[in-house]
A = this chain, B = another copy of it.
Amino acid sequence: MKTYLDCIPCFLRQALFASRVATNDELKIKEVLDRVGMLIKGIPMTSTPPETGRHVYAAVREITGVEDPFHDLKQKSTKKALELYPALKEITARAQDTLDTAVRLAIAGNIIDFGANPDFDIEKTIRQVLQQKPGVYHIKELKERMAEADEIVFLGDNAGETVFDRVLIETMHKRVTYAVRARPIINDATMADAEQSGIKETAKVVSSGCDAPGTILGRCSEEFKALFRKADLIISKGQGNFETLSQEKGPIFYLLKVKCPVIARHLEVSEGDIIVKGPSNQKS
């Protein structure tokens, strides 16, 4: 997905939010905004938003000197999600359609996002997604593809959301490789966050090699790209992975919660919608 004009004020908003998480020093925060302001001219509108996100959050890191501003928030998110884990398991176990319910819960977990919209309520979102009419919902095609797949790659998104992904993976009864970011960026899950979530008990966890809040294949490791290319099914969580991969061909199913008006317009759905979107030749 290309960068839309509306993304540009949002980069500034995100830079401000992240800087405030990192420091109370208003002069340093202003310096971050100065740097991000000067970045704008160099943003090609054909690039994906997470490509700019890399530079925005690098500015936050470099100017504030805080390598991982969201470290504590990520730990809290995961802790909170682990507290919810027994309830998530029970909701899934009791469901008529366990996979459908686990998919919806995994999408609910996608609300834990300190980039797109930090003002979220996870419990409320869980209640909503279980009954919500989805914006796009290729669930039948996902189930069919999953039934046949031997090699499944699951692209994680945020810390805490990882626990919801774990519940989905446990429900799938398939061999899954779970990919995380190569280094801390926003509240995206890294290897440490995946470990804290207990994902390793149910999937092999690998780094994508990418340091952006998404999956930019050109910035991924050779090992990851080989996995990605040979996968029978790729489950891609969240906006950032969608934004960076939406032009890719392949057996990719995007699971996400629509958290900004730009994605809503791009997908022709409403903000807040839940999405399961298969390859574009998929029936709707």
Contacts and interface: CB of A to CB of B under 8 A. Distances in A.
Interface of A: 5-6, 8-10, 12-13, 16, 20, 26, 29-30, 33-34, 36-41, 45
Contacts of A6: 16
Contact of A9 (B16, B26, B41): B16
A12 B40 CA distance: 11
A80 to B, nearest CB: 26
29 contacts: A5-B16, A5-B20, A5-B29, A5-B30, A6-B16, A8-B12, A8-B16, A8-B30, A8-B37, A9-B9, A9-B10, A9-B12, A9-B13, A9-B16, A9-B33, A12-B12, A26-B45, A30-B45, A33-B40, A34-B41, A36-B37, A37-B37, A37-B38, A37-B39, A37-B40, A37-B41, A38-B38, A38-B40, A38-B41
Contacts of A36: 37
Given A30-B45, A37-B41, 5 more contacts: A6-B16, A9-B12, A26-B45, A38-B40, A38-B41
A184 to B, nearest CB: 23
The quantity of this chain's copies bound in the complex is 2
A20 B38 CA distance: 21
A33 B16 contact: no
Nearest to A35: B41
A241 B278 CA distance: 53
A169 B272 CA distance: 46
A140 to B, nearest CB: 38
A45 B8 CA distance: 21
Contact of A8 (B8, B10, B33): B33
Contacts of A9: 9-10, 12-13, 16, 33
Nearest to A44: B30
A274 to B, nearest CB: 25
A34 B3 CA distance: 14
A6 B8 CA distance: 15
Contacts of A30: 5, 8, 45
Give 3 nearest A-B pairs by CB, closest first.
A37-B40, A9-B12, A37-B37
Nearest to A15: B9
A165 to B, nearest CB: 31
Nearest to A41: B34
Contacts of A16: 5-6, 8-9
Nearest to A4: B26
A60 to B, nearest CB: 13
A40 B6 CA distance: 18
